Structure 1
Amino acid sequence: MASIKDTKSAGKTSRSRSKSKSRSRSRSRSRSRSRGRTSSVTRQRKPTTPKPKQEKMESNSPARTRNRTPERAVTPTRKSARLQNLTLAPEERKPLEFEPSAEEEKRVSRTKKTEFGGAIGAFFMILGLPITVYFFNFVCSKNNCKPHLPIVSLDWRNYFDGQAAAIYLGWMAFQAVLYMIPVGPVVMGQPLRSGQRLKYRCNGFYSLCISLVAFGAAVYFKLPTGIVMQKFTQLITTGIVFSSVLSVILYVKARRGPNKQLAPGGNTGNILYDFFIGHELNPRVGSFDLKFFCELRPGLIGWLMLNLVMLTEKYNKEGAFPPALTMVVVFQALYVADALWFEDAILTTMDIIHDGFGFMLVFGDLVWVPFLYCLQTRYLSLYGVKMEWYCLVFIGILNLIGYYIFRGSNSQKNEFRKNPYNPALAHLETIPTSSGKRLLVSGWWGLVRKPNYLGDLLMATAWSLTCGFSTPLVYFYPLYFAILLIHREYRDAEQCQKKYKASWDRYCERVKYRIFPYIY
Structure 2
Amino acid sequence: MSSPQKSRLHDVGDEVYAKWPGSNLWFRAKVLNNKDGRYTVRYMEGTEETISQKHISAMSNFTRSSRSRSRSRSRGRSPGRKSKASPSRKAKQSPSPARKPRSSSKSRSSSKTRAAATPSTPTRQSARLAEKQTNGPEEVEKKPEMERKPSPARPAVATPVADKPVADKPVADSEFGGPVGAFFCIVLLPATVYVINIMCTEKSCTLAIPSIPKKLSNYFDSKAVMIGLGWFVFQVVLAVLPVGKVVSGQPVKGLQRLQYRCNGFIALMVSLVALGVGQAYFKVDLSTVHTLWLQLITTAIVFSVVLSLVLYIRARSAKPNALAFAASGNAIYDFWMGRELNPRIGSFDWKFFCELRPGLIGWVAINMCFLAEAYGSKSGWPNYPLIMVCGFQLLYVADALWSEEAILTTMDIIHEGFGFMLCFGDLAWVPFLYSLQPRFLLEHPQSLPWWALSAVALLNMIGFLIFRGSNSQKNMFRKNPYDPALAHLESMPTNVPGKRLLVSGWWGLCRHPNYLGDLIIGLAWSLPCGFSSLLPYFYPIYFFILLVHRAMRDDAMCRKKYGAHWDHYCERVKYVIIPYVY
TM-score past 0.5 threshold: yes
User: Between Structure 1 and Structure 2, which shows a larger proportion of helix residues?
Assistant: 1
Taking the TM superposition and a 5 Å limit, the aligned residue runs for 1:14-413 are 90-91=8-9, 93-94=11-12, 109-221=169-281, 222-265=283-326, 267-318=327-378, 320-413=381-474
CA deviations over 1:205-254 (Å, ceiling 9, x no partner): 11001111111112322321111111111111111111101111111000
1:437 to 499, 511, 519: 499
Amino acid in structure 1 at the alignment position of 2:11: R
Q: Which moved more, 1:437-446 or 1:327-336?
A: 437-446
Matched residue SS, 1:117: helix
Question: What code does the residue aligned with 2:9 have?
Answer: E
How many residues end up aligned between the 2 structures? Answer: 423
One-letter identity of the residue aligned with 1:260: N
Return the TM-score normalized by structure 2: 0.71
Contact 2:409 2:478 in 1 (8 A): no
One-letter identity of the residue aligned with 2:556: E
- Aligned pair partner of 1:465 in 516, 520, 527: 527
Once residues 421 and 197 of structure 1 are traced to their aligned partners in structure 2, the CA distance between those partners, rounded to angstroms, is 19
Q: Distance in 2 between matches of 1:95 and 1:215?
A: 50
Identity of aligned residues (%): 57
Partners of 1:423 and 1:197 in 2: CA distance: 23
Q: Distance in 2 between matches of 1:94 and 1:413?
A: 31
**Structure 2 CA distance, aligned partners of 1:300 and 1:135?**
21
Q: Is the 8 A contact 1:165 1:235 kept in 2?
A: yes
1:285 partner letter = I
CA RMSD of aligned residues (A): 1.8
1:415–1:196 distance in 2 versus 1, CA, 3 Å: closer
1:436 Cα deviation after fit: 2.6
Task: Give CA-to-partner distance per residue, 1:17-50, whole Å, 9 cap, x none.
Answer: xxxxxxxxxxxxxxxxxxxxxxxxxxxxxxxxxx
3-state SS of paired residue (2:328) = coil
CA deviation after TM superposition for structure 1 residue 503, in Å: 2.4
One-letter amino acid of the structure 1 residue matched with residue 444 of structure 2:
Y
Q: Distance in 2 between matches of 1:309 and 1:182?
A: 29
Structure 1 residues 374 and 110: alpha-carbon distance in aligned structure 2, compared to 1, 3 A threshold: same
Deviations along 1:396-449, whole A, 9 cap, x unmatched?
111110001111111122222333333332221111122232211111111111
Cα 1:400–1:110 shift into 2, 3 Å: closer
Cα separation, 1, equivalents of 2:447 and 2:517: 26
What is the CA-CA distance between 1:92 and the residue it aligns to? 6.1
Q: Distance in 1 between matches of 2:246 and 2:498?
A: 26
Q: Residues 110 and 269 of structure 1 are in contact (CA less than 8 Å); yes or no, is this contact kept in structure 2?
A: no
Cα distance change, pair 192–90 in 1 and its aligned pair in 2 (3 A): farther
Aligned-partner Cα distance in 1 for 2:492–2:168: 32
Report which structure shows greater RCO (CA 8 Å, sep ≥6): 2
Of 486-495 and 434-443, more deviation after overlay is shown by 434-443
Partners of 2:8 and 2:423 lie apart in 1 by 44
CA–CA distance in structure 2, aligned partners of residues 439 and 498 of structure 1:
15
TM-score by length of 1: 0.79
The aligned counterpart of 1:70 is: none
Over 3 Å counting, the alpha-carbon distance change for 1:320 and 1:270 in structure 2 is same
Contact 1:457–1:481 (CA under 8 A) maintained in structure 2: yes
SS of alignment partner, residue 246 of structure 1: helix
Distance 1:424 1:289 in 2: 31
Q: Give the aligned partner of residue 79 of structure 2.
A: none
Secondary structure of the residue that 2:517 maps to in structure 1?
helix
**Alignment partners' CA distance in 2, 1:110 and 1:489:** 20
CA distance in 1, matches of 2:231, 2:458: 35
Taking the aligned partners of 2:290 and 2:242, their CA distance within structure 1 comes to 33
Q: Can you list the C-alpha shifts for 1:104-126, whole angstroms capped at 9, x where unaligned?
A: xxx99543252111111111111
User: What displacement does 1:189 show?
Assistant: 1.1
Larger Rg: 1
Is the Cα contact below 8 Å between 2:173 and 2:333 reproduced in 1? Answer: no
Query: C-alpha displacement at 1:472, in angstroms?
Result: 0.6
Residue 452, structure 1, aligned to residue 514, structure 2: yes
Contact 1:448 1:516 in 2 (8 A): yes
Shift of 1:299: 0.2
Distance 1:454 1:120 in 2: 31
